[in-house]
Chains A and B, each alone.
Chain A
Amino acid sequence: MFLTDTDLQSILLTLRLASVVTLILFLVGTPVAWWLARTRSRWKGPIGAVVALPLVLPPSVLGFYLLVTMGPNGPVGQLTQALGIGLLPFTFWGLVVASVFYSFPFMVQPVQNAFEAVGERPLEVAATLRASPLDAFFSVALPLALPGFLTAGILTFAHTVGEFGVVLMIGGNIPGVTRVASVQIYDHVEAMEYSDAHRLAAVMLIFSFLVLLALYLWRPNPKNT
């Protein structure tokens, strides 16, 4: 194998992080996307803006807030300590929480678009066939919006793999726990181990390209969503 053990470890950790985050965001993001797609509430605008914030905010802002709020004197830190979980920074689950925030719009927005594209009509038809709203959601809206879910899942996964700034700020660079591939590359560069950096960087480049290639090949025409 041309990668070292620690490189491999960082890649596996990255994949594990991205998988967990994608899974959680499917569960958390779907209801939010559904609400945003169907609501007529005046809160739609503000909530939509909050969801999109991580697209605009520098990772340093998110990292700074997370470090302070999840620290022993922050509200989240005091809650986690009271619950006996301890502190989240420098732990795998701390990275998961950070990444869930950071990748939130990448899940919600494609799913929301897909739900909007489904429209009212199929759900009304389902209702006339005596489907309950829950039934209509699972047997009509969800299957129709499936392409949107796939796009969202791939984007969320890939975006989490590509995360760097937030992880650097709250991760503490612990091998096997918080040292993901992007941080490992940064470490190699800082330590002037350029050949190691090249190898791992190439792996990341090829991976990212393949993911995006799959996304674009599989959905050549955006109108089909």
Chain B
Amino acid sequence: MKPIVKLAFAVTLLTAALGARADDIQVAVAANFTAPMKEIAAAFEKETGHKIQAAYGATGKFYAQITNGAPFEALLSADDATPTKLVAEGAAVKGTQFTYAIGTLVLWSAKPGFVDDQGKVLAKGKFEKIAIANPKTAPYGAAAVEVLTGLKLLDQVSPKFVTGENIAQTFQFVSTGNAELGFVALSQVMKDGKITEGSAWIVPGKLHETIRQDAVILEKGKGKPAVIALMDYLKGDKAREIIKSFGYEF
């Protein structure tokens, strides 16, 4: 063999060997889970050598993309309905669906002292704009509407709605102060078990249907060891600790 061919052969073998151990995982992640996912991904990559390519966004959009052939191998959804639907439609692998976190809704303002810890600010109505995620597509938006309906405040508050296309945009409306307050995910304003800035009312879970966030392996990730490893990792203590520190429950 010529030296150059030998070299090429060696490189091929080497990359093949590395490839078997370190895979790229394409995973679609609900926007509310962005911060914990980044920490989990870093820890997972360090431990396993696999590389996570995460896309963050609205679950509804991911559904449309997945059913139209997007190359995602796993979905970390913001709800349990979307994974169930994908399994039923044959786009996700049966038996791989599990709840990786239970989300908490929070009424939050970037201004300290603006939101009281009982949420009475809602009834007083001394604000111009309140941000919610699109209730048609985002579970946190639907939960917010449910809370307001339960408090009999929906008619009073809804003229002041500004709607983010997902929970990340909703947070952005509030954090820039363009909306004085808004319903966001606790994970967006909590780090290490504490609210990082502004003021907040952590909405009691009994005021809305549980925000059960399910993960599922998609058809494109079927049987891939790296994808299965990630799913197992999400169920492990290390990941759970990170998830919990952002205010999620199980």
A interface residues, Cβ below 8 angstroms from B: 67-68, 70-73, 86-87, 89-90, 168-170, 172-174, 186-187, 189-192
Contacts and interface: CB of A to CB of B under 8 A. Distances in A.
B137 A191 contact: yes
Given A172-B129, A190-B136, A192-B64, A73 B179 contact: no
20 contacts: A67-B178, A70-B178, A71-B177, A71-B178, A72-B178, A89-B173, A172-B161, A172-B162, A172-B164, A172-B173, A172-B179, A173-B134, A173-B162, A174-B161, A186-B165, A187-B136, A187-B165, A190-B61, A190-B134, A190-B165
A186 B60 CA distance: 11
Contacts of B61: 190
A67 B64 contact: no
Contact of B176 (A67, A86, A187, A192): A67
A190 B178 contact: no
Interface residues of B, number: 23
A136 B59 CA distance: 60
Contacts of A169: 169
A174 B129 CA distance: 11
Contacts of A173: 134, 162-165
Given A90-B129, A173-B163, A190-B165, 16 more contacts: A71-B178, A73-B176, A86-B128, A87-B128, A89-B173, A89-B178, A90-B173, A172-B129, A172-B178, A174-B162, A187-B134, A187-B165, A189-B64, A191-B137, A192-B60, A192-B63
B137 A190 contact: yes
A71 B134 CA distance: 21
B131 interface: yes
Contacts of A172: 129, 131, 161-164, 173, 178-179
Nearest to A170: B178
Contacts of A168: 165
Interface in B151-198: 161-165, 169, 172-173, 176-179
B37 interface: no
B54 interface: no
A190 B58 contact: yes
Nearest to A174: B162
Contacts of B137: 187, 190-191
Contacts of B161: 172, 174
B201 to A, nearest CB: 21
Nearest to B163: A173
B89 to A, nearest CB: 12
A190 B60 CA distance: 5
Q: What are the 9 A-B residue pairs with the smallest beta carbon separation, nearest first? A: A172-B162, A173-B163, A72-B177, A89-B178, A191-B136, A71-B176, A190-B60, A190-B137, A90-B162
Contacts of A71: 176-178
A90 B165 CA distance: 13
A190 B64 contact: yes
Contacts of B173: 89-90, 172
Contacts of B60: 190-192
